[in-house]
Amino acid sequence: MLDPRAAAELPDDVDPRTRDEIAHTTAAVIVRRARAAEDPDVVDRLVRLVETEGLDVVAGLWADAAPNSLPGALWRLYVLREWTRRDPEGVALRYRLGVDAAPVSEAVAGVVRPPGPDDVRDLADAVLSGVFAGELDVALDRAGAFCRIVAAGAAQDADAREVADPEAARRVTHGAASLQRTADELVHAAALHRAGMLE
């Protein structure tokens, strides 16, 4: 597990190459160790890493990593999980709104229909479990599909708000675009992993 004190002691002005090396090394060690252990308790602890170590510790290690890298992909998965835990009702609503616009993504995401708040939280946990105990590329593809569906739902939500609250519609539209970009990054990371190029 990460040591929050050690992460906090990293100075902010660390050379970008050194920070990048730290990000890649920690991500690789964590994924490799979880798979070698084949222990459900280890996988569970890693899924709950943000809850125990804090999002800021994980961000300090991985937030600046490129999206086409292992630490960058892990960062996106942890942020996605944290979001589903903080706003499960909103995420479930947008998933329901977007599911008809992305039927192929629905099959890949693997969420029950119609999903409730617990279902979206369970999916986020299952995706991260897949990273540490299953196939990384499948987990990344599932997360990307989930993001695509929620992005489609957010776009519909923005359209519905346009007349009554244009500013809220603008924020939701921006969020939908960010989710779509994250979906593309996760799917690309999955393809890189399959090609043996996700480091």
Residue 69 lies in a domain: yes
Residue 110: predicted pLDDT:
65
| pLDDT recorded at residue 17 | 81
Question: Which pLDDT score, from 0 to 100, does residue 190 have?
Answer: 94
pLDDT of residue 35: 77
Name the residue range of residue 159's domain: 4-194
The predicted model scores a pTM of 0.83
In a domain, 111, yes or no: yes
Whole-number pLDDT of residue 134: 80
pLDDT at site 99: 85
Number of domains present in the structure of the chain: 1
Q: Is 199 within a domain?
A: no
Does 180 reside within a domain?
Answer: yes
Q: Is residue 81 part of a domain?
A: yes
The answer to whether position 109 is within a domain reads yes
Residue 68 domain-assigned (yes or no) = yes
Within the chain, which residues score under 50 in pLDDT?
1-3
Amino acid code (one letter) for 83: W
Q: Fill in the amino acid letter for 151.
A: A
**Residues 89-128 pLDDT 10s:** 999 999 889 988 877 666 676 666 777 888 888 888 888 8
Tell me if 25 is assigned to some domain: yes
What pLDDT score does 106 carry? Answer: 67
Supply the pLDDT for residue 151: 94
